[in-house]
A and B are shown apart, each in its own frame.
Chain A
């Protein structure tokens, strides 16, 4: 049921529009002035009425403006989009006012009253955020305790690894058939060697930096990158195992997948740090970072396997039958017919798994590896920089948000692309 104060007839359409827009503009102006300039026009009204004044005013304005068809393009699209019913009009006003009210404090805290100059805590004199803190600690948040003069090694390692990732695009036609071989086998090995020798050093005249000094966002990237390239082949084997018609292999794969999918990552990390050393030979030492990477790889492989299984199941039976009728064996059929098609289908799914993996890496903080959440905890308790937890977490949240949002958009685009191609 729509509340209509005034039945609209064609001759007073213009009157309605004038009254409606005047009321609406007045209500928005009231809130705007109130929040940006602290001028309260409705302050003279008694008590609670002044709070609801703009809401009531705007509501009346919108109900005057609501017509089936006015002939004005802007007004019609306004009515169609935000002013269809009373309830909608109310929500519209509510959201508009909330944004208007929240914007000035947020802006002044983030920008207007914030400080970024100087490099001690004393430079932060404003009532807003202290970005000086972020500026001073920026290198720590990015590179952890890695020595300052050696940061070029991390940067160049990342650039090399990313560059090598694009090499596949430039393969000539006659090399295309080795593309999968390159990405699944050769690339991970080269990337591992690059990161190992460039970042940890110890050879070719580079100074050795122990993994305890690695940290910050670069550690997040290292961990998620390695886990991705290792969990993919493992996941593939498990997915094939789960669809195998040999019962022993199938049950073992199902058991593996369901086990890892059933436990939280944090317990897996605990396992890697306290339980895993017990399972290794006595004098066999394994670095903490390596243990964590192994643990996350084993964990993510189960999720990867489920994604790949989805791709395998999506292929029509005819593909299997056709391959078999050509006399292909199990491995030939899978390597040349099934997997190339199935893997193409699951690329968006894998991108999503990778996204989840990146979002999970801050958890390695609980076993004492100082990636970005760990560095924040460290900075937060530094006696020279007490009381800036908010800035730190907002900074980290922004960085992660940009990375994850870009990745989710990318995977969404891939999904759309493959949807149309099929």
Chain B
């Protein structure tokens, strides 16, 4: 009897405490909203947003609803995160491997790179790129082309845009090639396990992924044109580029800062992963007669990835959450557009901050769930 009370009483008290806190907040919120004449509800989502966004991926203008503004802003957030993740992975892997180099200079440069970018607050880095570094770029009329066709100016980075005809034919060819490659890999593995023969999978895959899309150009009627950015004079001293795709400086500053900052953490994960594999593994693999490439592919990488991937995913998650710093330099991401502008216009503080937090929370939880599933799958199954 005594034991039962010991178990139930603390739980009851905790639940009561939580209920009390939530109840207190709800009642206060009700009273406050009544006094200010605001009512709780999500009806505002279908109202006209009537504000503009500087940079959007989908068509959006002020006449669209708040819900559409939310979707467009969320896409902007995802775009920054996606670009950041790609660049930070490339940089992080290079730096992480460089930190293990035998070359004294490379090892130390990589180490200093990590120490340098890791120890400066991300917000300051974003500000540095946006307010100091990118402001030193030339005006459109003075811009020199990079790689012949792209222009880096103070107003943004201008790149040619692609104009496709019959894009869907091209895409389906590409997808068919990828599916075929997967099939061939599975088949090759089966053959290897049964007969010990190795098929040149890499060459076959390369051939497939180039030939099938090429065929679509020749037979499928797919055409590809580039629209180049062209300098245009608006007034005596005012020039802009027209055509092509314009990447705004906010996006560039954000992606730069996020990927440089996060790449240091990814580099540390990669280094830890490679260091975590004992030398004996490599030697054992070599002694059973595997080639260096096979050792890397079949012995080192599978084990290193098991150590590298979970913390790296965590870093990707951090990057996605950190992309909300976009609000500080007015890149139209979820926080700026929704928790900033939309909140100011509607005054629905609780609903809007709640939606914003829930969005990030669901991204995090989804990735965490995926990660748990992956960890379970690759876990070393000990007997």
- Interchain CB contact under 8 A, A363 and B119: no
Residue in A closest to B360 when the chains form the complex, CB atoms: A263
- Interchain CB contact under 8 A, A263 and B28: no
- Interchain CB contact under 8 A, A82 and B105: yes
Residue in A closest to B108 when the chains form the complex, CB atoms: A95
A252-B14, A274-B349, A274-B353 as given contacts; A267 in contact with B339, CB under 8 Å: yes
B255, chain A: closest CB distance, angstroms: 17
- Interchain CB contact under 8 A, B364 and A262: yes
- Interchain CB contact under 8 A, A408 and B119: yes
- Interchain CB contact under 8 A, B361 and A263: yes
Q: From residue 290 to 340 of chain B, which have CB atoms closer than 8 A to chain A?
A: 321-322, 324-325, 327-328, 335, 339
Cα distance A95–B18 in the bound complex, in angstroms = 58
Q: From residue 6 to 37 of chain B, which have CB atoms closer than 8 A to chain A?
A: 7, 10-12, 14-15, 18, 24-25, 28-29, 31-33, 35
Stretch at the interface among A66-74, A152-160, A396-404: A396-404
State whether the Cβ of A366 lies closer than 8 Å to any Cβ in chain B. Answer: yes
Cα distance A262–B359 in the bound complex, in angstroms = 10
Cα distance A99–B350 in the bound complex, in angstroms = 53
State whether the Cβ of A296 lies closer than 8 Å to any Cβ in chain B. Answer: no
Contact with A along B335-375 (1 / 0, CB 8 A): 10001000100000110011011001100110010000000
B187, chain A: closest CB distance, angstroms: 34
Q: From residue 333 to 367 of chain A, which have CB atoms closer than 8 A to chain B?
A: 358-363, 365-366
- Interchain CB contact under 8 A, B123 and A401: no
Residue in A closest to B122 when the chains form the complex, CB atoms: A359
Within the complex, which residue of A267, A280, A281 is in contact with B356, where a contact is CB–CB below 8 Å? A267
Within the complex, which residue of B33, B125, B328 is in contact with A365, where a contact is CB–CB below 8 Å? B328
Cα distance A281–B28 in the bound complex, in angstroms = 5
Stretch at the interface among A4-12, A37-45, A111-119, A242-250: A242-250
B133, chain A: closest CB distance, angstroms: 8
State whether the Cβ of B132 lies closer than 8 Å to any Cβ in chain A. Answer: yes
Contact with B along A248-268 (1 / 0, CB 8 A): 110010000011011111111
Total residues of chain A contacting the partner, CB 8 A: 57
Give the chain A neighbours of B339 by CB distance below 8 A. 267, 270
Cα distance A270–B31 in the bound complex, in angstroms = 21
- Interchain CB contact under 8 A, B123 and A362: yes
- Interchain CB contact under 8 A, A278 and B29: yes
Residue in B closest to A274 when the chains form the complex, CB atoms: B349
Residue in A closest to B132 when the chains form the complex, CB atoms: A390
A84-B102, A262-B360, A266-B324 as given contacts; A365 in contact with B123, CB under 8 Å: yes
- Interchain CB contact under 8 A, A246 and B10: yes
A271-B357, A274-B349, A405-B119 as given contacts; A96 in contact with B105, CB under 8 Å: yes
Within the complex, which residue of B133, B321, B335 is in contact with A270, where a contact is CB–CB below 8 Å? B335
State whether the Cβ of A320 lies closer than 8 Å to any Cβ in chain B. Answer: no
Within the complex, which residue of B11, B118, B123, B349 is in contact with A248, where a contact is CB–CB below 8 Å? B11
Total residues of chain B contacting the partner, CB 8 A: 59
- Interchain CB contact under 8 A, B121 and A359: yes
Residue in B closest to A91 when the chains form the complex, CB atoms: B106
Within the complex, which residue of B11, B128, B368 is in contact with A246, where a contact is CB–CB below 8 Å? B11
B2, chain A: closest CB distance, angstroms: 12
- Interchain CB contact under 8 A, A247 and B11: yes
State whether the Cβ of B55 lies closer than 8 Å to any Cβ in chain A. Answer: no
User: Does more than half of chain A's interface fall in helix, strand or loop, or is it mixed?
Assistant: helix
State whether the Cβ of B232 lies closer than 8 Å to any Cβ in chain A. Answer: no
B139, chain A: closest CB distance, angstroms: 16
A258-B365, A263-B360, A400-B120 as given contacts; A271 in contact with B353, CB under 8 Å: yes
Give the chain B neighbours of A262 by CB distance below 8 A. 360-361, 364-365, 368
Cα distance A366–B340 in the bound complex, in angstroms = 11
B106, chain A: closest CB distance, angstroms: 6
Q: From residue 237 to 294 of chain B, which have CB atoms closer than 8 A to chain A?
A: none
State whether the Cβ of A279 lies closer than 8 Å to any Cβ in chain B. Answer: yes
A389-B132, A400-B121, A405-B115 as given contacts; A252 in contact with B18, CB under 8 Å: yes
Residue in B closest to A84 when the chains form the complex, CB atoms: B102
Cα distance A80–B364 in the bound complex, in angstroms = 46
- Interchain CB contact under 8 A, B25 and A279: yes
Give the chain B neighbours of A271 by CB distance below 8 A. 353, 357
A35, chain B: closest CB distance, angstroms: 18
Give the chain B neighbours of A274 by CB distance below 8 A. 343, 349, 353
A410, chain B: closest CB distance, angstroms: 12
Residue in A closest to B109 when the chains form the complex, CB atoms: A95
State whether the Cβ of A92 lies closer than 8 Å to any Cβ in chain B. Answer: yes
- Interchain CB contact under 8 A, A278 and B349: yes
Residue in A closest to B362 when the chains form the complex, CB atoms: A262
Contact with B along A78-91 (1 / 0, CB 8 A): 00111010001001
- Interchain CB contact under 8 A, A279 and B361: no
Cα distance A82–B102 in the bound complex, in angstroms = 8
State whether the Cβ of A393 lies closer than 8 Å to any Cβ in chain B. Answer: yes
State whether the Cβ of A288 lies closer than 8 Å to any Cβ in chain B. Answer: no
**A–B Cβ pairs within 8 angstroms, 13 of them:** A80-B102, A88-B102, A246-B11, A264-B360, A267-B360, A274-B353, A275-B349, A362-B121, A366-B328, A393-B131, A401-B116, A404-B118, A404-B121
**7 tightest A-B CB contacts, nearest first:** A262-B364, A404-B119, A248-B11, A264-B321, A81-B104, A390-B132, A262-B361
Extra contacts, 10 of them, besides A91-B103, A263-B360 (Cβ < 8 A), are: A80-B102, A88-B103, A246-B11, A264-B322, A266-B324, A267-B360, A278-B349, A281-B28, A361-B121, A365-B123
